[in-house]
Amino acid sequence: MNFVPQVATTEISDADLDNVSGGLAAGGSGGLCIETPVASVAADLLAVATPEGITTGTAFHAAAN
């Protein structure tokens, strides 16, 4: 018996390769953190745009010191 795995090769276009490797994307993020002797407040914003659409996310955290 031959236990050597068989491998098939094929050509892939540049557009398909972009999709496999993560594609084309642009993104940005920002954050703000304020600390006082009484409390801490933090907020974050994230946005990523790809050919498939736009994704956004936010986070907010407040804590008393």
Residue 41 pLDDT exceeds 90: yes
pTM of this prediction?
0.53
> What is the model's pLDDT at position 1?
64
Q: Which of 53, 54, 51 is nearest to 18 (CA)?
A: 51
* Separation between Cα atoms, residue 6 and residue 64, nearest integer Å: 61
Residues contacting residue 29 through CB under 8 Å, at least 6 positions apart = 44, 45, 46, 47
Q: For residue 6, what pLDDT band results from cuts at 50, 70 and 90?
A: confident
- Average pLDDT of span 38-65: 90
Q: How far is CA 10 from CA 7, 13, 22, in A?
A: 10, 10, 20
* Greater pLDDT, 16 or 60: 60
